[in-house]
């Protein structure tokens, strides 16, 4: 197919062009941010140590860290967004054999073709200029868990990402704070780390984390006191990537 050949040509051009360009001035000077500064509101005077480490290892030719550095520039985690620098470091990682970077470049190249032409194929047919890709970055805490500010019914609490949980889960106390009515919900029996427990099924009209909002989210309310857990009824509808101490959630 002509479109597939175009993708290969664009990818070849991307992979072979970086050596002749200086990327220092792309997007202007970098601005650096702390891991918890999801909205990049307070620039740091110098790069965060995590960014410095990734930058140093990437400069030394570590393919995984080259790809991580590309992801930082692509998502705006720890550093200001710069698509050109993101592509540059993904190119470097791909040339050093990183399979994830190669896949990113193929998709990126296909997207460029869609933006500049009327042709498309496969899932790139959904990538029109009108589509906004929503992303948010979560910081890993000292205990290794990822936490997030969660908004439900226009009220905000902090929750913990739990990929082992089937549903979004909250205590009766949290449900009351958020205005979630659950008493008439279907009774569920669940197995937790502390044994079997019962709860009530509810459907949340919307759940917002960062700039990502999903509607009609299945959840469970339990009487036992526990933090709000962000389970797979929310997470399964997103793409999840982890880089360094950050978890990147993406919704097309």
**In 84-98, which positions are buried (b, 16+ CB within 10 angstroms) versus exposed (e)?**
ebbbbbbbbbbbeeb
Chain region(s) in the chain for CATH 2.40.70.10: 136-251
Among 148, 207, 198, CA closest to 178: 207
Check if the beta carbon of residue 229 is closer than 8 Å to that of residue 162.
Answer: yes
Check if the beta carbon of residue 152 is closer than 8 Å to that of residue 140.
Answer: no
C-alpha count within 13 angstroms, C-beta hemisphere, residue 31: 12
Render each residue's pLDDT in the chain as its tens digit; 252 residues: 443 444 444 444 444 343 333 455 678 889 999 988 877 889 999 999 999 999 999 999 999 999 889 888 888 889 998 888 988 998 999 899 988 888 878 776 655 554 554 444 333 344 444 445 678 888 777 677 888 889 998 899 999 999 888 899 999 999 999 999 999 999 988 766 566 778 999 999 999 998 899 999 999 999 888 899 999 999 999 988 877 677 888 886
Local structure of residue 224 (DSSP, 8 states): S
Classify domain 136-251 at the CATH superfamily level. Acid Proteases (2.40.70.10)
**Concatenated DSSP letters for 9-41?**
HHHHHHHHHGGG---TTTTSS--B--TT-TT--
Query: Residue 189 pairs with which residues in a beta bridge?
Result: 198
Check if the beta carbon of residue 201 is closer than 8 Å to that of residue 185.
Answer: yes
């Amino acid at each position: 197919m002509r479109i597939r050949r175009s993708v290969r040509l664009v990818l070849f051009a991307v992979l072979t062009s970086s050596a002749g360009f200086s990327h220092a001035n792309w997007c202007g000077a970098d601005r650096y941010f702390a891991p918890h500064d999801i909205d990049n509101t307070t620039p740091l005077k110098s790069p965060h140590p995590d960014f410095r480490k990734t930058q140093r290892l990437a400069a030394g030719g570590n393919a995984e860290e080259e790809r991580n550095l590309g992801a930082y520039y692509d998502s705006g985690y720890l550093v200001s967004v710069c698509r050109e620098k993101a592509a540059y470091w993904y190119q470097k990682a791909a040339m050093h054999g990183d399979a994830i970077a190669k896949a990113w470049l193929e998709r990126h190249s296909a997207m460029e073709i869609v933006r500049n032409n009327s042709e498309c194929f496969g899932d790139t047919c959904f990538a029109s200029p009108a589509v906004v890709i929503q992303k948010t970055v979560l910081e890993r805490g000292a205990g290794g868990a990822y936490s997030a500010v969660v908004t439900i019914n226009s009220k905000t609490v902090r929750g913990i990402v739990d990929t082992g949980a089937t549903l979004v889960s909250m205590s009766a106390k949290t449900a009351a704070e958020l205005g979630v009515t659950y008493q008439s919900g279907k009774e569920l029996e669940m197995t937790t780390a502390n044994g079997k427990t019962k709860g009530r099924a509810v459907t949340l009209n919307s759940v917002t984390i960062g700039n990502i909002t999903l509607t009609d989210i299945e959840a469970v309310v339990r009487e036992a006191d526990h933090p709000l857990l962000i389970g797979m009824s929310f997470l399964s509808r997103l793409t999840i990537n982890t880089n360094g101490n950050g978890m990147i959630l993406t919704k097309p």
